[in-house]
Each structure stands twice: as structure tokens, then as C-alpha cells.
Amino acid sequence: MSDRTSTPVGASPPPPSVPGVEDLQVIGRGGFGVVYRGHQPDLGRDVAVKVLSAAGADERAVQLWQREVSAMGRLSNHPNIVAAFSAGVTADGFPYLVMPYVGGGSLHDRINRSGPLDPADAARVGTRVASGLAAAHAAGVLHRDVKPGNVLLSEYGEPQLTDFGIARLVDAATTTTGSVRATIGYAAPEVLGGETATPASDVYGLGATLHAALAGRSPFAGEEGESFAARIGRVMTQPPPDLRTFGVPPALAAVVDTAMAKDPADRPQTAEEMGRRLEALTPADLAPAAASVATAPAPPPGPDRRRMLLVAAAVVAVVVLAGVAAWALTRGDDGSPDVAAPSSSATTSSEAPSPTEASTTSSPSTTDAPTSPPASLDEPTTTSTTTTEATTTTAAPSAPTAAELRSAVTDYYALVDAGRLEQSYALLSPRYQAEEPFPGYRDFWEGIRSVEVQGQPAADAADLRVDARLRFVDGEGRPSVEDVTFGFVQADDGRLLIDTYGSR
């Protein structure tokens, strides 16, 4: 059995001991740590417990964690910030945080499940999230990783920000000076370039989050075959897709575009200002528009644009060749991740290593089923244009059978258990890979001694879903068993790719 094994979301050691919390069960994982669902018997409530294993027992990281948690505690009364119930450090030296268990999931989940939000709902969510960010900034706290996966939905449909400062904490513990942790699809260009995050960086993240909510996908989702450097270059030099082509009314599209300006000075200077701009939109401004097709050609690379491209290329070269950037995804996109820290919701996410995030519209109910498969937050954006050239038609691949879905799971873990991680990584969807860059994927699985599928998985060919039981042995020889659910997508060539993963 190889010492190099892995899976989309791997095994974890036995649950930690958290005072006052019982029956801890894994509900999510990511590059930052593990999220558990637990129960506080004294208060009769379920809670989410986030254990930041990526920070380890580093003394500086623990001190930073304590400062961040203290700041979060001061913000806990804000209706659009997830409350912090308690915090501490486990016996093994890992920081943990006890938060409300949010069964509604995240905005990421909501978009993946039901498609884009309508303009009025998106503006409402944006206004509320901006209010939470403004309160945090007033208290001297930056978020640093605003994305759909970090916007949870309360049982009353209220959007709430979570995971304040976690990227900063992990940087302090695990990366070198000049390194960057961010979710590429939602990170501000200046952050990707190595500059210090500011409130304007959080405003950009909110703009990118609203773009995803309105378009149904990350504004800078990874594209098929696109290199890491090329994707960063796109974020730093290219505008996001025109929201008007998705039927977004021009007034709302303009607010989002301004928030995503490349130059921080061109954005709303505060989250409060961003919220005011969204709140000022009238019902007429938010009336859904017919999708339009942009006809204006892209401007030629003039002096300023050429300079931007050269600067971006230089930054990307430094990042890639010097190896000073570490990327954390989301339960994405989110392309975030994200690997972004796992959401404190119980929903499956492909952002952590699987990011799914749920948000609600004007009603707390999130049970509506999409009439057609929603676009992934991190799938490449495609546009169709009319052309006079002849085109060829390729027959669509046949629908997979239950047996093929079961084989896809067992074949994946056979590659993982053999240590053939590059080949197993190729069996993850582009969206999943965008949320889980290969270095983090590899590092995680190198800490797992073995993994196997126990028994015969149960497959649902109609939903492209597989339920399986996995047995893991971690690097210290400790076994664990986990019941999981896989969601698949079918590539154009017929291959089955893992798109989501979550504990059952």
C-alpha cells in the first residue's frame, strides 16, 4: 500500500475534544481544516465546530487566532455576521471555533442548486453582506476571502458572513513572507499581485460574489486546459464577463463592475458606500432585462493595456517560478474556493475541497429544483455567436449507467491508493480543480496512508450521484470510516468527473 494516497475530501483523525460539545461528525473539509457538526446538550442546540488543522500548533498563529476570534466576538451581534459562540485550542494544539450550525447552507450551494439569483434578490444579499463588511472594517477586521462559499444563509434567509481572517491565520502558520492565500476567482488583482489586503479588496470580493450570484458562475472560473499562471493573468488584466449578456439590468451591472475595478481607487472606497449604491437601486433599476449580446470588439492593446499585460506577466512569473504563492480554494469557486476554508453549513460543497454553498432569495425556502442543470460557479464561461463558417456537430455522449458511476468511484480511489495523484486529480471536474489546486490536493493525500471503497457503492444514474463508504488510514496509522456522497458531471468526451463530495 502506497504512502501517497488521496481522495477529493480525505479522511480526518478522530474528532477533537471540544468542551460542552458532543457527537462531533465531519460535514466538510478544506485546505484550512475540518468542520464538524456537534450538539450542545446543555443548550439543546446543534453547532458547527471548525478546527483549523492547517495552522497547527504554531505559537504565532495561535496568538493571531485569539485576536481574530476576539474581534469576531465583538461582531457577533451583527445580523449579517455568523456569531462566534466560543473558541479555544484543542489538546493537540489546533485552534477551534464554535459557531451556529447553519442548515441553510451557503450562497454557493444556492447558486449551484437553483441557478442565478434574480436581480432584486442579488441586490438584497449584496446590501446585507456590505453591512456586515462595513461593521467588520469599522472594528479593524478584514475578511480577506469574501466569496459565495463564505456567505451562509440563516434559517430565516438572512445572509451571514463567516470565516473572517482565516486566510491570514493560515498564512501566519504555513507560508513564507510574500506568499498569498486567496480564492483566485474572487481575489482582488492587487492581492494576487502580492499587495496587502485593504477594505477595497473586500469590496472587490463582494463584487465578484454578486457577479457569481447573477451569472451563475465565478467571474474568473478556471477554463479547460488553462494554466495557473494564465488564470491569474486573466484576473489581473481582463474584465469579467459582461453581466448584461446574462440579462442583468444595466444599473445593477454597473455597480458590480465598479466594485470589480482593477484599480482599488476606482472602486467604492468602503463597504458602506458599496451598500449605499446597491440600496439606491430602484425597482425599475432591478427589473430583469433580456439577455444582450455584446457587439463591440475588444479594444486593441494600447500603451496602458500593454503595460498592464507586462506587469501581470511579471507578477505571474514571480509567483509561479519563485513559488511564493499558496492558493486556498473555497465549497468554493467558487470557483473558492476554494482551497477555501470549509463552510460551517452541513451541505455538500466542492469548495472545501468540495464547494457547495446555499443562499436564499426573498424567501427562506431553498427547496426549489432547477428546471435545467445549473451552471457551475467555476465552469468556464462560454458564449455563442453567429458565424457564416460551417460548423461540425459532435454527438453527445450516452448517459452513464449506474455500473459506470460505481466504477468511476472505485477507479478513482484505486489511482489514489497507488499514489498516482496526477492521474486521480485529472478525474476531478474543472470547477473542482479550480477550487482545489493540485499542490494542496497532493499535500493532503500524502498525509493519508491508505484509502479503500468498502462494499458496493449505491449509484443513481438519473442524478449522477454515488453513495459510498470509505475507509481511511491516516499517516499515524489511525483508521476511520466515512459515508460519503459524490456528485458527477459528464465531460464532452463522455468521461465521468467528480464535481462534489460530502459526508452523509
Measure the CA–CA gap between 334 and 219, rounded to whole angstroms.
Answer: 10
Mutual angle of helices 250-259 and 271-279, in 10-degree steps? 180
pLDDT, one tens digit per residue, over 117-149 is: 999 999 999 999 999 999 999 988 889 899 998
Please tell me whether residue 447 adopts helix, strand or coil conformation: coil
Owner of C-alpha cell 460557479: 377
Residues that constitute the known binding site for ATP: 50
For residues 82 and 112, membership in a common domain is answered with: no
Task: Answer whether residue 411 is part of any domain.
Answer: yes
Total number of domains constituting the chain: 3
Domain boundary residue, one of 52, 78, 100: 100
For residues 422 and 278, membership in a common domain is answered with: no
Q: What is the CATH number of the domain that holds 443?
A: 3.10.450.50
What are the backbone angles phi and psi of residue 13, rounded to the nearest 5°?
Answer: -65, 175
pLDDT in tens, the chain (504 residues): 443 334 444 444 567 888 899 999 888 765 556 788 999 999 999 999 988 765 454 566 667 667 767 777 788 889 999 888 988 888 777 888 899 988 778 899 899 888 999 999 999 999 999 999 999 999 888 898 999 989 998 878 899 998 876 645 544 444 444 445 668 899 999 999 889 899 999 999 999 999 999 999 999 987 777 777 788 889 999 999 999 999 999 999 999 999 999 999 999 999 999 999 999 999 999 998 766 554 433 333 444 444 444 445 555 444 444 443 444 333 344 443 333 333 333 333 333 333 333 333 333 333 333 333 333 353 333 333 333 344 444 566 788 999 999 999 999 998 998 888 888 999 999 988 988 888 888 878 888 888 999 888 899 888 899 999 888 887 767 777 777 889 999 998 889 999 988 766
Task: Answer whether residue 3 is part of any domain.
Answer: no
For residues 122 and 249, membership in a common domain is answered with: yes
Range of the domain at 434: 402-503
Measure the CA–CA gap between 250 and 243, rounded to whole angstroms.
Answer: 8
For residues 38 and 143, membership in a common domain is answered with: no
For residues 415 and 460, membership in a common domain is answered with: yes
What are the backbone angles phi and psi of residue 112, rounded to the nearest 5°?
Answer: -65, -35
Half-sphere exposure of residue 341: CA atoms within 13 angstroms, side-chain side: 34
Please tell me whether residue 72 adopts helix, strand or coil conformation: helix
For residues 67 and 164, membership in a common domain is answered with: no
Q: Which three cell numbers stand for residue 275?
A: 451598500
For residues 185 and 44, membership in a common domain is answered with: no
Task: Answer whether residue 495 is part of any domain.
Answer: yes
Q: Contact, 328 vs 440, CB < 8 A?
A: yes
Domain boundary residue, one of 100, 126, 153: 100
Task: Answer whether residue 346 is part of any domain.
Answer: no
Task: Answer whether residue 345 is part of any domain.
Answer: no
Q: What is the pTM of this model?
A: 0.61
Measure the CA–CA gap between 149 and 404, rounded to whole angstroms.
Answer: 31
Task: Answer whether residue 339 is part of any domain.
Answer: no
- Tell me the sheet residues that pair with 38: 47
Residue numbers annotated as active site: 145
For residues 219 and 278, membership in a common domain is answered with: yes
Q: Which three cell numbers stand for residue 94?
A: 489546533
Residues that constitute the known binding site: 50
SS3 content of the chain, % helix, strand, coil (to 5): 35, 15, 50
Neighbours of 153 (CB within 10 A): 27
Q: Which three cell numbers stand for residue 242?
A: 459582461
